[in-house]
Amino acid sequence: MSANRWGLFDGNALSRAIPKQARNDAGAFARRELDSGARILAVVKNKVYLDEVDPKQLGWLCRPQVEERFGLRYTSDDDDDDDDGVSFASASASGEEEGGVKFDLVYLGREEGGRSFFALDLTRHRPASESPAFGELRSYIKANSDLLDSGERASSVSRAGYALALSNWARGVRFCPSCGGGPMRSAQMGTRRECPSCGKKQYPRLDPVAICLVVSSDGNHALLGSPRYASGRMLTCLAGFVEQGETLEEAAAREVMEEAGVEVGQIRILGSQPWPLGRSGACELMVGCIARATSSPGTGSLEIDFDEMNSVTWVEKGVVAEKLKQAKDRAAGLPVESGRGDTWIVPPYAIAHHLIDYWVNGDGNGVVAEERGDLKVSRL
């Protein structure tokens, strides 16, 4: 399967397995990897370090560059029980100012036959967090619409998304949710957190989201909406978090009913996309579905939840096709004619774009796979 089938973040091409050597001695493993050219991405909250010469590139640095640019020194104290021996510390003077804060390296994975990649959360490092060289990853993506056409830069962004997600999660797990002990310490090179009092392990949080393209019963319209958190002009698929005790298909059907008052009869899961820029600060997994409604614009009315949505509307297929082409042209840097106030379809970095594309240009009306016999259809 090729990378970026469903937008950004789905093809970071790293092997995440923690090597056996690192399980036994994380400090020795990290030291060896850093000495042989491992790359580190510094992050500050939702910002990542950008290349200071070419801001179209992310600023993956090697160990000496990290030490020089951020005034840090690498420490791998194997006798230190407080962590797994993989961190940077402030260099002497600023270290005293910052109270000897350590900055744990988080292992992201390794290229096949190549370098290892790490994240370094510098949110608590005052000089770094004030640096203008850090930029919001979300803004970087919006400013570089050609990312999906460039395999290496797209992989770099996927890795950066993973770096942000792991760092944000680790920062939020300071104390043990079981016994209140802490501070939690880094384990398995930052990919787990462990309580020093009761030993309880915490694993990176992932929030599943059902995102659903709803096709009308007559097959000629898509139900598109503009969520309250986005521009009122952006049209996308309806989506919502999967709750405990329900399937993805049930979550999708529930969200469509809650946000638009539309009942769906068939739902098929098409694919998924990691989304490390979730609004709650956690990493989401967007699971893309296509659904067939039991109604059409002429046969049922919408009941829109305006607490969640600016608008929800049935959009005729020809209009969707036109706006989809505009979204593709815009992402490709081509001129697009559109009037003030026109709505636009979410760009190709998001799975919603590809669900809409699938309906318009791929599988016709989408949810008739049972007739082809090659894809499973979930009936509610």
Of residues 200 and 205, the one with the C-beta less far from Zn ion: 200
Contact yes or no for 268/367 (Cβ under 8 A): yes
CB of 165 to Zn ion, least distance (A): 23
User: How many angstroms separate the CA atoms of 380 and 143, rounded?
Assistant: 41
Of residues 5 and 201, the one with the C-beta less far from Zn ion: 201
β-pair type (344-345, 234-235): parallel
Q: Is the CA virtual torsion 278, 280, 284, 288 positive or negative?
A: negative
Of residues 179 and 375, the one with the C-beta less far from Zn ion: 179
Element (H, E) at 29: helix 26-35
Distances (CA, A) of 153 to 7, 59, 63, 145, 371: 13, 11, 21, 11, 40
Can you point out the beta strands (E) in the chain?
39-44, 47-49, 72-75, 87-90, 102-110, 116-121, 134-136, 185-187, 192-194, 201-202, 206-215, 221-227, 234-235, 238-241, 264-275, 283-293, 309-316, 344-345, 378-379
CB of 177 to Zn ion, least distance (A): 8
CB of 179 to Zn ion, least distance (A): 3
Of residues 159 and 192, the one with the C-beta less far from Zn ion: 192
Contact yes or no for 253/330 (Cβ under 8 A): no
Contact yes or no for 105/189 (Cβ under 8 A): yes
Q: How far is CA 351 from the centre of its chain?
A: 11
Residue type, 234: M
CB of 194 to Zn ion, least distance (A): 9
Of residues 181 and 265, the one with the C-beta less far from Zn ion: 181
- Helix segments in 115-150, DSSP class H: 126-129, 137-143
CB of 349 to Zn ion, least distance (A): 39
Q: Which two tokens stand for residue 56?
A: 């179209």
CB of 104 to Zn ion, least distance (A): 19
Contact yes or no for 118/39 (Cβ under 8 A): yes
Write out the residues near Zn ion by the rule CB under 5 A: 176, 178-179, 181, 195, 197-198, 200
Of residues 143 and 198, the one with the C-beta less far from Zn ion: 198
CB of 176 to Zn ion, least distance (A): 3
Of residues 4 and 202, the one with the C-beta less far from Zn ion: 202
CB of 286 to Zn ion, least distance (A): 32
Of residues 177 and 298, the one with the C-beta less far from Zn ion: 177
